[in-house]
Amino acid sequence: MLSNTLGLVFYQLVNLLVSYELAIQLTVVEFGEYQFYLSLAFFSVMLLKLGVDEGLVYSLPKYSNAQASSILWLIFGVYVLIFYILFSIKVPGNYLLSLANLGLSYELLLNISLSFFCLTYLGAVLRAKGYIVTRVVGIYVVSPVVMLALIVVKGGGVDSILSYRVDSFWMAVLVMALAFVISNRRFEFENSCLRIKNVMKISLGIFVLQVFQSGIEQSYLALVIVKYLDTEIYLGFYSFAIRYSALLAMVVIIFNGFFVPIMASMMSSGRHDELKDAYLLGSNVAIAMSCIAFILLYSFVHEIVELIDIKFLPAIGFIKILLFAHFSTLLFGLNLPIIFFYNKKYELYNLLFCCLVMLVIGLWLANMYGALGVAYAALLSHILMNLIRARKVYKILGGNIYKNLNTHKGLISILIFVGFFEAVPEKINVEIKLWVSILLVMFFVGRYYTSLVKLAKYRL
């Protein structure tokens, strides 16, 4: 699990480098179009998969190797047929995209979708079969590195760069395909339909969760609202803000990836008291680390954006709001792993409610304030989502556990910090920002040094 988390962090970092390279090469409008089309392709694949990839991860360990291989090849065959049919309906597909006012060819959208489907499907299979290193190398190393290399060497417009994305996915698929074929050479087709039915039952529940979760956490809903209710240039600014704030989202990825196996082990074995201790320790360190990351990203936002490209300076207002949104994810504790283990239905209702809030408030504010209103709606939906998660987890763990969390300390520290920087921005130069940031980082690291040592022992 640790190698998977490290691989995911590397993947996100390289993807961010790709995004920033694109931000330099493309115009603001082209950058917004690229991010929107890529999100559209990924969302299309999620709808087509119906949660099958994650369903296989949960289901395959129950079956023998021959039974699992039969399930995998049959499901893969069905999806090959589906994509063959989709590629055959070019004229209606291009017509629908033109109706939606999308300057993207149907064939290119399907190519991105097919390559991404193969990538995620093979990745899930290898994860379920224990080929973790091959999966990490394929998805998290080969794909982003090839993409970055093609952009740097060849350059090009939106269509060219989307094509590079397809090429990078296929290269990763080739790396993983050999391991897939080797590990699935024996078959037992008897009762395969019943087994696939059982897999689909699990998959559909995961699928519904993924749809609502992506609407909020992957910003799909926000991008759609900005695309159709504001100008194209603001779609570019908002897309850039999403990519910048993703740096803070990596702190969430690291801590969730670090703690999922620890908490899963404690929850499955019924070690409730140990779980509470691990939750408090991990959550308080996560709050401190997210404060540090927020401080650095917020303090130097002008300098970092100028370093990337000054044409994105108007995106700074969106960036600051979205940084607060991501900060709220860890502010209330490491709640997602516990929610997923104890009550997935509760999380489903939570995500559904927050998507509705995002949609209704986002449309309302977008009509008045454009993309800035959408950013505030995203902030509200993130805060609500994390508050609702926290309420459930505090009830599960019991014992007034929230009183031992440093949520209020982290929030007060950040509000004072932001108030200081926003009150007299013209008097604050880079040197002052640097010294204030260093002092705050030293404070948080010093305050949580013993907690960090204890945290390391959990992995050891």
Specify whether 138 is located in the same domain as 184: yes
- Domain closes at, from 208, 229, 248: 208
Specify whether 169 is located in the same domain as 238: no
Residue 355 lies inside a defined structural domain of this protein: yes
Specify whether 193 is located in the same domain as 325: no
Residue 214 lies inside a defined structural domain of this protein: no
Specify whether 380 is located in the same domain as 431: yes
Domain count, the chain: 2
Q: What is the largest CA-CA distance in the chain?
A: 75
Radius of gyration over alpha carbons of the chain, in Å? 23
- Domain closes at, from 189, 208, 227: 208
Residue 225 lies inside a defined structural domain of this protein: yes
Task: Report the distance separating Cα 106 and Cα 419, nearest Å.
Answer: 48
**303-312 long-range CB contacts below 8 Å, 24 or more apart?**
303/430, 304/244, 305/244, 308/20, 308/23, 308/24, 309/23, 309/24, 311/27, 311/28, 312/23, 312/28, 312/236, 312/237, 312/240
pLDDT score recorded for residue 460? 45
pLDDT score recorded for residue 98? 62
Specify whether 194 is located in the same domain as 48: yes
Residue 213 lies inside a defined structural domain of this protein: no
Residue 243 lies inside a defined structural domain of this protein: yes
pLDDT score recorded for residue 193? 67
* Angle at which helices 158-183 and 143-154 cross, to 10°: 150
Q: Which pTM value belongs to this model? A: 0.82
* Length reported for the chain: 460
Specify whether 189 is located in the same domain as 245: no
Helices (H), 155-231: 158-183, 192-217, 220-229
**197-200 long-range CB contacts below 8 Å, 24 or more apart?**
198/59, 199/52, 199/55, 199/56, 199/59, 199/71, 199/75, 200/50, 200/52, 200/55
**Secondary structure (3-state) at 218:** coil
Specify whether 142 is located in the same domain as 273: no
C-alpha distance from residue 143 to each of 8, 119, 306 (Å): 12, 9, 28
Per-residue tens of pLDDT for the chain, all 460 residues: 555 566 667 777 777 777 777 788 788 888 888 888 878 877 888 887 777 777 777 776 676 667 677 777 777 777 778 777 777 776 666 656 665 556 667 777 778 888 888 888 877 777 777 777 777 777 777 888 888 788 878 776 777 777 888 888 888 888 777 777 776 666 555 666 666 777 777 777 777 777 777 777 777 788 888 888 777 788 888 888 888 888 887 777 777 666 766 776 776 666 767 777 777 777 777 888 888 888 888 888 888 888 888 888 888 888 989 988 888 887 887 787 777 777 778 888 888 888 888 889 888 988 888 888 888 998 999 899 888 888 888 888 775 667 777 777 778 878 877 787 777 666 666 677 777 777 777 776 666 656 655 655 555 4
- The 10 Å Cβ neighbour count of residue 9 is 16
Specify whether 130 is located in the same domain as 244: no
Q: Give residue 399's identity as a one-letter amino acid code.
A: G
Specify whether 295 is located in the same domain as 183: no
Specify whether 356 is located in the same domain as 449: yes
Specify whether 111 is located in the same domain as 27: yes
- Domain closes at, from 143, 175, 208: 208
| Three-state helix/strand/coil letters over 39-83 | HHHHHHHHHHHCCHHHHHHHHHHHCCHHHHHHHHHHHHHHHHHHH
- Residue 63's domain comprises 2-208
Residue 169 lies inside a defined structural domain of this protein: yes
Specify whether 33 is located in the same domain as 122: yes
